[in-house]
Protein backbone atom coordinates (compact mmCIF):
# COMPACT_ATOMS: atom_id res chain seq x y z
CA UNK A 1 0.00 0.00 0.00
CA UNK A 2 1.18 3.51 -0.81
CA UNK A 3 -0.55 5.36 2.00
CA UNK A 4 0.84 8.88 2.52
CA UNK A 5 3.53 8.45 -0.14
CA UNK A 6 3.69 11.64 -2.18
CA UNK A 7 4.75 12.01 -5.80
CA UNK A 8 4.57 9.97 -8.95
CA UNK A 9 7.13 7.32 -9.78
CA UNK A 10 6.90 7.80 -13.56
CA UNK A 11 8.54 4.40 -14.15
CA UNK A 12 11.98 5.72 -13.20
CA UNK A 13 14.46 5.41 -10.37
CA UNK A 14 14.72 8.17 -7.80
CA UNK A 15 17.85 9.68 -9.34
CA UNK A 16 16.32 9.62 -12.81
CA UNK A 17 13.13 11.31 -11.55
CA UNK A 18 15.22 14.05 -9.95
CA UNK A 19 17.22 14.58 -13.16
CA UNK A 20 14.05 14.69 -15.30
CA UNK A 21 12.47 17.20 -12.94
CA UNK A 22 15.55 19.45 -12.92
CA UNK A 23 15.92 19.33 -16.71
CA UNK A 24 12.25 20.04 -17.36
CA UNK A 25 12.13 22.98 -14.95
CA UNK A 26 15.33 24.43 -16.44
CA UNK A 27 13.77 24.13 -19.93
CA UNK A 28 10.57 25.72 -18.66
CA UNK A 29 12.47 28.71 -17.30
CA UNK A 30 14.57 28.96 -20.46
CA UNK A 31 11.73 28.73 -23.03
CA UNK A 32 8.78 29.67 -20.75
CA UNK A 33 6.67 26.90 -22.32
CA UNK A 34 7.29 23.19 -22.80
CA UNK A 35 5.33 20.26 -24.18
CA UNK A 36 5.22 17.09 -22.10
CA UNK A 37 2.83 14.48 -20.72
CA UNK A 38 0.16 15.30 -18.15
CA UNK A 39 1.80 13.27 -15.36
CA UNK A 40 5.22 14.86 -15.82
CA UNK A 41 3.69 18.34 -16.05
CA UNK A 42 1.83 17.89 -12.78
CA UNK A 43 5.00 16.66 -11.10
CA UNK A 44 7.15 19.49 -12.49
CA UNK A 45 4.64 22.25 -11.71
CA UNK A 46 5.08 22.08 -7.91
CA UNK A 47 8.88 22.17 -8.18
CA UNK A 48 8.81 25.13 -10.59
CA UNK A 49 6.45 27.11 -8.36
CA UNK A 50 8.68 26.57 -5.32
CA UNK A 51 11.67 27.88 -7.28
CA UNK A 52 9.73 30.94 -8.47
CA UNK A 53 8.74 31.66 -4.87
CA UNK A 54 12.46 31.53 -3.95
CA UNK A 55 13.21 33.90 -6.83
CA UNK A 56 10.61 36.37 -5.56
CA UNK A 57 12.62 36.68 -2.33
CA UNK A 58 15.75 37.52 -4.31
CA UNK A 59 18.17 37.07 -1.41
CA UNK A 60 21.60 35.48 -1.64
CA UNK A 61 20.50 32.50 0.44
CA UNK A 62 17.48 32.00 -1.85
CA UNK A 63 19.77 32.09 -4.88
CA UNK A 64 22.08 29.50 -3.31
CA UNK A 65 19.12 27.25 -2.45
CA UNK A 66 17.86 27.52 -6.03
CA UNK A 67 21.28 26.57 -7.39
CA UNK A 68 21.40 23.59 -5.03
CA UNK A 69 17.93 22.43 -6.08
CA UNK A 70 18.17 23.13 -9.81
CA UNK A 71 21.79 23.54 -10.84
CA UNK A 72 23.00 26.49 -12.88
CA UNK A 73 22.66 25.45 -16.51
CA UNK A 74 23.77 27.82 -19.27
CA UNK A 75 21.32 29.20 -21.82
CA UNK A 76 23.00 28.95 -25.21
CA UNK A 77 22.05 29.69 -28.80
CA UNK A 78 23.55 28.69 -32.10
CA UNK A 79 24.55 31.62 -34.28
CA UNK A 80 26.82 31.61 -37.34
CA UNK A 81 27.66 27.94 -36.87
CA UNK A 82 28.96 28.49 -33.34
CA UNK A 83 27.43 28.12 -29.90
CA UNK A 84 27.14 31.35 -27.92
CA UNK A 85 26.40 31.51 -24.18
CA UNK A 86 23.61 34.01 -23.55
CA UNK A 87 22.73 33.64 -19.88
CA UNK A 88 22.20 31.12 -17.08
CA UNK A 89 18.91 29.67 -15.90
CA UNK A 90 19.32 30.97 -12.34
CA UNK A 91 20.13 34.50 -13.53
CA UNK A 92 17.03 34.50 -15.74
CA UNK A 93 14.93 33.10 -12.89
CA UNK A 94 16.05 35.78 -10.43
CA UNK A 95 16.27 38.76 -12.79
CA UNK A 96 13.25 38.23 -15.12
CA UNK A 97 10.85 35.58 -13.84
CA UNK A 98 10.91 36.32 -10.11
CA UNK A 99 10.22 40.07 -10.37
CA UNK A 100 7.41 39.38 -12.85
CA UNK A 101 5.40 37.61 -10.13
CA UNK A 102 6.06 39.89 -7.13
CA UNK A 103 2.40 40.85 -6.78
CA UNK A 104 1.08 37.33 -7.47
CA UNK A 105 0.57 35.05 -4.44
CA UNK A 106 0.94 31.77 -6.36
CA UNK A 107 -0.18 29.89 -9.44
CA UNK A 108 2.72 30.84 -11.68
CA UNK A 109 2.21 28.01 -14.20
CA UNK A 110 -0.65 26.68 -16.27
CA UNK A 111 -1.29 23.34 -17.93
CA UNK A 112 -3.08 23.40 -21.28
CA UNK A 113 -4.24 20.09 -22.68
CA UNK A 114 -3.46 19.47 -26.34
CA UNK A 115 -5.75 17.51 -28.62
CA UNK A 116 -2.92 15.43 -30.06
CA UNK A 117 -1.28 12.42 -28.47
CA UNK A 118 2.30 11.21 -28.64
CA UNK A 119 2.92 8.93 -31.59
CA UNK A 120 4.95 6.22 -29.86
CA UNK A 121 2.88 5.37 -26.78
CA UNK A 122 -0.30 7.44 -27.29
CA UNK A 123 0.47 9.52 -24.18
CA UNK A 124 -1.65 12.64 -23.59
CA UNK A 125 0.35 15.76 -24.39
CA UNK A 126 0.00 19.08 -22.59
CA UNK A 127 1.66 22.47 -22.65
CA UNK A 128 3.21 23.60 -19.38
CA UNK A 129 3.81 27.34 -19.47
CA UNK A 130 4.49 30.28 -17.23
CA UNK A 131 1.50 32.53 -16.62
CA UNK A 132 1.64 36.21 -17.40
CA UNK A 133 4.22 36.34 -20.17
CA UNK A 134 1.81 38.22 -22.48
CA UNK A 135 -0.62 39.63 -19.89
CA UNK A 136 0.51 43.16 -20.68
CA UNK A 137 -0.46 42.83 -24.35
CA UNK A 138 -3.75 41.15 -23.42
CA UNK A 139 -4.60 44.02 -21.08
CA UNK A 140 -3.81 46.53 -23.81
CA UNK A 141 -5.97 44.74 -26.39
CA UNK A 142 -8.77 44.41 -23.83
CA UNK A 143 -8.77 48.12 -23.12
CA UNK A 144 -8.61 48.91 -26.83
CA UNK A 145 -11.63 46.69 -27.48
CA UNK A 146 -13.47 48.36 -24.59
CA UNK A 147 -12.72 51.80 -26.04
CA UNK A 148 -14.00 50.70 -29.47
CA UNK A 149 -17.23 49.40 -27.93
CA UNK A 150 -17.67 52.61 -25.96
CA UNK A 151 -17.09 54.74 -29.08
CA UNK A 152 -19.53 52.62 -31.06
CA UNK A 153 -22.28 53.04 -28.44
CA UNK A 154 -21.60 56.79 -28.30
CA UNK A 155 -22.00 57.00 -32.09
CA UNK A 156 -25.28 55.09 -31.95
CA UNK A 157 -26.61 57.33 -29.18
CA UNK A 158 -25.61 60.43 -31.13
CA UNK A 159 -27.43 59.21 -34.25
CA UNK A 160 -30.50 58.32 -32.19
CA UNK A 161 -30.61 61.79 -30.63
CA UNK A 162 -30.27 63.58 -33.96
CA UNK A 163 -32.91 61.51 -35.73
CA UNK A 164 -33.43 61.69 -39.48
CA UNK A 165 -32.74 65.14 -40.93
CA UNK A 166 -35.41 64.98 -43.64
CA UNK A 167 -38.21 62.72 -44.81
CA UNK A 168 -36.06 61.44 -47.67
CA UNK A 169 -33.48 59.99 -45.27
CA UNK A 170 -36.04 58.38 -42.98
CA UNK A 171 -35.89 54.60 -43.02
CA UNK A 172 -39.03 52.60 -42.65
CA UNK A 173 -38.73 49.67 -40.28
CA UNK A 174 -40.97 46.70 -41.00
CA UNK A 175 -42.11 44.58 -38.07
CA UNK A 176 -40.95 40.97 -38.05
CA UNK A 177 -43.52 38.25 -38.48
- Summarize pLDDT for 70-104 with one digit per residue, the tens: 999 999 999 888 999 999 999 999 999 999 999 99
pLDDT, greater one: 38 or 141: 38
CB atoms within 10 A of CB 30: 18
pLDDT band for 144, please (50, 70, 90 cuts).
low
Work out the average pLDDT over 126-148. Answer: 67
Q: Which residues of 32-48 are buried (b: 16+ CB within 10 A; e: fewer)?
A: bebebbeebbebbbebb
Go through 95-109 and write b for each residue having 16 or more CB atoms within 10 A of its CB, e for each that does not. eebbebbeeeeeebb
Average pLDDT over residues 53-71: 96
Q: What is the predicted pLDDT for the residue at 136? A: 47
Judged against a pLDDT cut of 60, whether residue 55 lies above it is answered with yes
Predicted pLDDT of residue 137: 42
Structure confidence at residue 132 (pLDDT): 85
Name the band, by pLDDT with cuts 50, 70 and 90, for residue 145. low
Taking CB atoms within 8 Å and a gap of at least 24, the contacts of 78-87 are: none
Q: Could you give the CA distance from residue 70 to residue 22 in angstroms, rounded to a whole number?
A: 5
Amino acid sequence: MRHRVAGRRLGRTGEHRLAVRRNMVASLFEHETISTTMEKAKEVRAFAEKLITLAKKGTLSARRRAIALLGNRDIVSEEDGGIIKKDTVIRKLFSEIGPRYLDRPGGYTRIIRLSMRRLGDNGRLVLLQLVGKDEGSKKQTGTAAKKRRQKKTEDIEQVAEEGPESDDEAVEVKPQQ
